[in-house]
Amino acid sequence: MAHSLKSAAFLIESRIADAAGGDVQALFELGVAYSTGSGGIAVDLVEAHKWFNLAALNGSGPAQECRAEIADEMSAREIAEAQRQARAWLSEIGHYRRVA
Q: Is the pLDDT of residue 5 over 80?
A: no
Supply the DSSP symbol for 43. Answer: P
Dihedral sign, Cα of residue 44, residue 5, residue 17, residue 62: negative
Q: Is the pLDDT of residue 32 over 90?
A: yes
* Whole-number pLDDT of residue 99: 41
Q: Is the pLDDT of residue 39 over 80?
A: no
Pure H helices in the chain? 2-20, 24-36, 45-57, 61-71, 76-99
pLDDT digits (tens, 9 = 90+) for 52-98: 999 999 999 999 999 999 999 999 999 999 999 999 999 988 755 54
Number of residues that make up the chain:
100
